[in-house]
Chains A and B, each alone.
Chain A
Amino acid sequence: MVQVVMSGNHASSYAAKLARVQVIAAYPITPQTTIVEKLATFVASGELPAQYIKVESEHSALQACIGAAALGARTFTATSSQGLLLMHELLHWASGARAPIVMGVVNRAVAPPWSLGTDHTDTMSQRDTGWIQFYAESNQEVLDTTLIAYRLAEDPDVRLPVMVAEDAFYLSHTVEPVDVPSQDDVDRFLPPLARAFAVRPGETQRYGSFVGPELYMEFRYQVAKAMKRAAHVRPQVEEEYRRITGRHHGGSLAAYRVDDADAVLITMGTASTTARSVVDTLRARGKKIGLAKLRLFRPFPVDKVCELAATVGRIGVMDRCYTYGAAGPAYAEVVAALFGGLHRPIVRNFIAGLGGRDVTPEAIEEMYESLLKDRGPEVEWVGLKRRKGVTTHG
């Protein structure tokens, strides 16, 4: 193990290199570009003996990965925002074809208006594509989660693609010390893919081709089952990673000071670091509050959300995304998870940090204060600039 100062993007590149990826197909897009740029350097220097396929679009990048994965290659690609949206059709294809691709996604706002800032709309609108989705809080977490993603994606009981999301600029272009595991440790954790996955060279086969209504549902059900199994396999994989590297990032919903809390805020990605410091500040002032970092969005950790609800009367969910005509997507998931459960805390939604807007300690403090009030709007846009000074809707 060595410690290297690197950006979140380079943490993603180093993880792919340590995973000994065999095929990389990518198309550049800000703020993702430096991930695949670094990988191109590794391939050019001979440090990483992989096929680097330059393609004409993100759509083609993912298609190339699906083809390579079908032949049993370990594949990697990375994208952001509009690039991920262009991949949408192939995202469905990858999970339906059971291609265990790992993709780094740098969360960036979707146009218009054009923006480079972080925002979770790009990945959250891929919720239904059958990909496992992790959201990272630190550069270390990007590296570790990308390696974990390969073990999970390739598990014979899972065989589903995984995206590892990191916040634009806060992680992608900010450097911090990252513990880089040794190649030997990674090799022990992540053995090579043993065999061709689906397609056998030399044989004529149809991959993902026509099926009639008599069996289409059954194929879809298999993907559904695999996603359920992923929820069971993930903790084992993360435990194994902890055993080898000593690191664990708190599972699907990482709780912080929730034990006697009156109110808990659920955050994703880098907002969690800020929120943790706000929890310490407000705790010092006697407020009983806590934090739960949602690391895994698919499969959604219904059980962990219900566990949290058993001890907490008020839950706030911060979304860096909004589903028009409804609410924030993480909020909607949390509410849906709780509806069938025994405990029904008050749940409120805070929309914040869209398009790279800073989620400051003051903004998070405002969320806690609002959450601790008896009444409040279901959905609140925090820090929204309005003449009336009112930040509610719906």
Chain B
Amino acid sequence: MTSYETEEDLPDAPIASEPTDSIKTASWRTFRPVIKLEKCTKCNVCWKFCPDVAIEINEEGWPVVLLDYCKGCGICAEECKPLAIEMVKEEG
């Protein structure tokens, strides 16, 4: 990620050549979803419902939470039919 420190560093216009995913947007999360794979049925409901596209399906078909973007809203845990997702309080 390009890091600008002061206003003098900024480009002439608000223009960026890298995609927005370089901006980590999860710093204010207070609860993180923890997926218990032993209960997971690979139904992909959590992936479908995540409003922030912060759940990926890996090569084996398991859901993986992208903690750089997950804001801990808990929708995945709410929607998970086999109750495989637990919201765990962040430390500190």
Does B58 sit within 8 A of A, measured CB to CB? no
With A210-B23, A212-B23 known as contacts, the answer to whether A218 contacts B16 (CB < 8 A) is: no
Residues of chain A within 8 A of B20, CB atoms compared = 206, 209-210
CA distance A119 to B44 in the complex (A): 60
Please report whether the interface of chain B is mostly helix, strand, loop or mixed according to DSSP.
Answer: loop
Could you tell me if A98 and B10 are in contact, using CB atoms closer than 8 angstroms? no
Residues of chain A within 8 A of B14, CB atoms compared = 96-98, 207-209, 211, 219
Residues of chain B within 8 A of A197, CB atoms compared = 13
Residues of chain B within 8 A of A210, CB atoms compared = 20, 23
Does B19 sit within 8 A of A, measured CB to CB? yes
B10, B17, B19, B23: the one within 8 Å of A219 (CB): B10
Does A215 sit within 8 A of B, measured CB to CB? yes
Does A59 sit within 8 A of B, measured CB to CB? no
Tally A residues with Cβ within 8 Å of B. 23
Could you tell me if B16 and A98 are in contact, using CB atoms closer than 8 angstroms? no
Does A199 sit within 8 A of B, measured CB to CB? yes
B7, B13, B19: the one within 8 Å of A207 (CB): B13
Could you tell me if A204 and B17 are in contact, using CB atoms closer than 8 angstroms? yes
Does A3 sit within 8 A of B, measured CB to CB? no
Ordered by A's residue number, 26 sampled pairs between the chains whose C-beta atoms are within 8 Å are: A70-B13, A98-B14, A159-B12, A159-B13, A197-B13, A198-B12, A198-B15, A199-B15, A205-B17, A206-B16, A206-B17, A206-B19, A207-B13, A207-B15, A208-B15, A209-B20, A210-B20, A210-B23, A215-B4, A218-B4, A218-B7, A218-B10, A219-B7, A219-B14, A221-B7, A222-B7
The 0/1 profile, CB within 8 Å of A marked 1, for residues 1-42 of chain B is 000101100101111111110010000000000000000000
Could you tell me if A206 and B7 are in contact, using CB atoms closer than 8 angstroms? no
Q: Which positions in A face B, CB cutoff 8 Å?
A: 70, 96-98, 159, 197-199, 203-212, 215, 218-219, 221-222
For residue B54, give the distance in angstroms from its CB to the closest CB of chain A. Answer: 16
Could you tell me if B10 and A215 are in contact, using CB atoms closer than 8 angstroms? yes
Please report whether the interface of chain A is mostly helix, strand, loop or mixed according to DSSP.
Answer: loop
CA distance A165 to B86 in the complex (A): 61
CA distance A96 to B13 in the complex (A): 8
Residues of chain B within 8 A of A208, CB atoms compared = 13-15
Residues of chain A within 8 A of B4, CB atoms compared = 215, 218
CA distance A211 to B11 in the complex (A): 13
B6, B12, B19: the one within 8 Å of A218 (CB): B6
Q: Known A-B contacts: A70-B13, A198-B15, A205-B17. Give 7 more (CB < 8 A).
A: A206-B15, A206-B16, A206-B19, A208-B13, A210-B23, A215-B10, A222-B10
CA distance A212 to B23 in the complex (A): 9
